[in-house]
Chains A and B, each alone.
Chain A
Amino acid sequence: MLNQQNKPEKLIDDKGLRVDGRRPDELRPIKMEVGVLDKADGSAYIEQGKNKILVAVYGPREAHPRHVAHPDRAAIRCRYHMAPFSTEERRSPAPSRRDMELSKVIREAVEPAIFSKYYPRTTIDIFIEVLQSDGGTRSAGICGVSLALADAGVPMRDLVVACAAGKVDGKVVVDLCDAEDKLGEADLPVAMIPSSGTVTLVQMDGNLSPEEFDRALSMAMDGSRKIYEMQKEALKRKYLLIKEAVEEKNEAKEGE
């Protein structure tokens, strides 16, 4: 495990490549799939580097307990949770303070895109389970949440996409992995609505000059736009698979 004690001398080598061999503006490999759970109204599975995250959406459904309901819109609730085996050291399954904060920021990142006024007095419940974490779980989680919401048929203005940028060995890079997140100098997760180009989440920790911030912000948004294309593909793929299955069935019938 990488930590301050056995920190490698350089996080960016002489060729300008990062610890996992990526260029500064290169994303990790991303895999997305929607409709992976049977009981949920919408679901998605996302892998980004070694991140493995499962998201389920239930609703719009009747509010339980009833006092959580809003008279003019759906109450959107979100639970971000990390599995006890998702990190190097086992974590307690009880929700941590970090989990509570992330649940809040993820909810507020996706809520602006949802037409929650269409479903007064209901709840839309979002569950994020991080099965394995590798840095940038909140960004990957947000991408998974908007896929699961779309899969559930919740009306939205657009998919919400998120991607982090940061600073490693004095260089601004996109999509930090675990080692870069822990040993680097700054982490800046950004969520955006691509069609309007607006930002729905910004967080930052570390050290960035205002100029570095501008560069990191545009890198994170460029990364987000790339992930946005993959999200649309992932959503289409589900229906292509259904179409193919139907066509195969029809062909088999014709052959009889």
Chain B
Amino acid sequence: MSSTPQPPIAKIESKTITDLIANNRRIDDRTPTDYRDLKIEVGVIEKANGSAKVHLGKTKVLVGVKVEMGDPFPDTPEEGILTVNAELVPLASPSFEPGPPDEKSIELARVVDRGIRESKAIDVKKLCIEPGKKVFVVFVDVYVLDHDGNLIDASALGALSAIITAKMRDYEIKKGEVVYKEGLIPLPIQNHPIAITMGKIGNSIVIDPSLKEEQAMTVRLTVTIEKDGNICAMQMAGLGELTVDELKKAVGMAVSKSSEMRAKVLEAAK
């Protein structure tokens, strides 16, 4: 059992961040709705079916996608399987330790997973080889390399970039067996979910909190938006509270920010 840790930040620093934001300013000169500089490189790992390295400010996340054959779940015999895992690699932060996944990495993986799964970004029905017997399993592994805040958005952007650029060997199904052919085909992608994470600092909401801002904020809220502007996943965390107005405002901020971020992913995935 874990408890909510103490943020390792000096009170005076936390106060500076909070006071700045009350005047619509941030420690790195962004406006409340600005992301840090985003750079996405795709296909950086040749041995993976798909991969993407995301630089969000100083945060670095590498995502690898592997496609393998496996058994379907009994309750979804005609659907392929999506598995998302996240590793908070110890080299990424002094607060990460080796060992089995803790609640931070499980939450990160599950929030990224929920966005892809609930938006039906991958058409899992097309990943069925033989109903009830054999399906394709898409493994999405999130590897955090440098933690400077907002791991969720960096990971979700990386996961989306990696699955839309992933290539698997072309195949035919003959008598329930997979026979590989020449050439490569993409994964069956039908939606582009974008996770927008916000922090409440003092009484203000900011998009894409950096590590320092994360330590000063009381609430973290992630809203994942589909291609058509609908919401497909949400996650709130932290020891603070949101008023109904703040919550609705944050959802609105996420909806209006999502298309800009989606365009950046699609541009990088070209």
Q: Given A103-B1, A201-B236, A205-B114, verify A213-B243 contact (CB < 8 Å).
A: no
- How many residue pairs link A and B with beta carbons under 8 A? The number is 116
Query: What residues of A have a CB within 8 angstroms of the CB of B107 in the complex?
Result: 100-101, 104
Segment of A14-22, A75-83, A168-176 engaged in the interface with chain B: A75-83
Tell whether, in the assembled complex, residue A207 and residue B232 are in contact, meaning their CB atoms are under 8 Å apart. Answer: yes
Contact string against A for B residues 239-256, beta-carbon threshold 8 Å, 1 for contact and 0 otherwise: 111111001100110010
Bound: A80/B68 CA distance, A: 33
Given contacts A204-B233, A207-B232, contact A101 B103 (CB under 8 A): yes
Contacting residue for A210 out of B6, B110, B255, CB 8 A = B255
Contacting pair B3 A206 (CB below 8 A)? no
Whether A208 and B241, one on each chain, are in contact in the complex, defined by CB atoms closer than 8 angstroms, is: no
Q: Mark B216-248, 1 if CB is under 8 A from A, else 0.
A: 000001000010011111111111111110011
A-B contacts, 28 of them at CB < 8 A, read A68-B3, A70-B3, A76-B3, A76-B4, A77-B1, A97-B106, A97-B110, A103-B1, A103-B103, A112-B241, A125-B1, A193-B241, A196-B241, A200-B241, A200-B242, A202-B235, A202-B247, A205-B114, A205-B117, A205-B233, A206-B118, A207-B119, A207-B231, A208-B230, A209-B230, A214-B248, A217-B247, A221-B244
Q: Does B76 contact A (CB under 8 A)?
A: yes
- Residues of chain A in range 171-199 having any CB-CB distance to chain B below 8 Å: 188, 193, 196-199
Q: Which residues of A contact B (CB under 8 A)?
A: 3-5, 68, 70, 72, 75-79, 97-98, 100-101, 103-105, 107-108, 111-112, 123, 125, 188, 193, 196-210, 213-214, 217-218, 221
Determine how close the nearest CB of chain A comes to the CB of B10; give it in whole angstroms: 14
Chain A, Cβ-Cβ closest to B110 = A101
Q: Is B2 an interface residue (CB 8 A)?
A: yes
Query: Which residues of chain A have C-beta atoms less than 8 A from B241's C-beta?
Result: 112, 193, 196, 198-200
Most chain A C-beta atoms within 10 Å of own C-beta, residue among B101, B114, B117, B251: B251
**Contact of B3 with A107 in the complex, beta carbons under 8 Å:** yes
Q: Does B28 contact A (CB under 8 A)?
A: no
Q: How far is the CA of A98 from the CA of B107 in the complex (A)?
A: 9
For the complex formed, measure the closest distance between the CB of A90 and the CB atoms of chain B, giving whole angstroms: 13
B267 at the interface (CB under 8 A from A): no
B4-28: which have CB < 8 Å to A? 4, 6
The range of chain B's interface size is 35 or more
Contacts of A208 in B (CB 8 A): 230-231
- In the complex, A76→B1 CA distance in Å? 9
Chain A interface SS verdict (over half) = mixed
Closest CB pairs A-B (n = 3): A204-B234, A198-B241, A75-B3
Answer yes or no: B37 CB below 8 A from chain A CBs: no
Determine which of B6, B106, B234, B239 lies in contact with A202 in the assembled complex, contact meaning CB atoms within 8 Å: B234
Whether B75 sits at the interface, judged by CB under 8 Å, is yes
Bound form: Cα–Cα A30–B265 in Å = 47
Inter-subunit contact A210/B252 (CB<8 Å):
yes
Asked if residues A206 and B229 are in contact (CB atoms below 8 Å), the reply is no
